[in-house]
Amino acid sequence: MTTRRELCLSLPALALLGESLSAPVIAAAQPLQEEPKPTPEQQAASAAVAAKGTEVFAHNQIFRASVMPIKTGPTGSSQSVNRGSLPTGEGVEMHNTMLLPGHEPHPPHKHEHSEWLLIREGNVDWLIDGVRQPAGPGDICYASGGQLHGIRNVGTVPARYFVMAVGPNLKS
């Protein structure tokens, strides 16, 4: 009679045996085809199109920070990553922001879409239900569509954060 312990000890060997027997069948049924890699020029063109909001993001890709323009202003800077639609229909927009100490990018506001702000550096206050709450590196601030929210750099160094927005009003 086989004990439960013996059965558990034999499972990894059975799993490996099963993989080795089925691997040729899988490989024959679905041969791997490597897609051609885009050139740096094609990647830059794709990032530029994505930033203008005309792209449907239907393929895996890299958005290269080195080709994304940075816009500066009195409160800091912003770097548009992309704007477009997901294959499932939602509009999406992403950007990197650098917010100078003591500043807000704009007054507290509401909008139809939802946003996530991933704080990379610095200390900020995040407005939640009319109350400012502290957030710092590694924290993620969420703004639900239609809810008042705002961010302010309360530290002594620039705050750097990444914004991802998703919603129907972001469609191209």
- Alpha-carbon dihedral sign for residues 138, 77, 111, 123: positive
Listed by start position, the domains of the chain span 40-170
Find tokens 């969420």 and name the residue: 142
pLDDT per residue over 109-152, tens digit each?
999 999 999 999 999 999 988 899 999 999 999 999 999 999 99
Query: DSSP for 132-145?
Result: EEEE-TT-EEEE-T
- As a whole number of angstroms, the distance between CA 8 and CA 93 comes to 48
Phi, psi of 56 (to 5 degrees): -100, 125
Domain 40-170: CATH superfamily is Jelly Rolls (2.60.120.10)
Q: What is the pTM of this model?
A: 0.68
**Stretch (H or E) spanning 128:** strand 124-128
Phi, psi of 36 (to 5 degrees): -65, 140
Neighbouring C-beta atoms of residue 49, cutoff 10 Å: 14
pLDDT per residue over 37-55, tens digit each?
666 665 555 544 444 455 7
pLDDT per residue over 16-45, tens digit each?
333 333 334 333 444 445 556 666 665 555
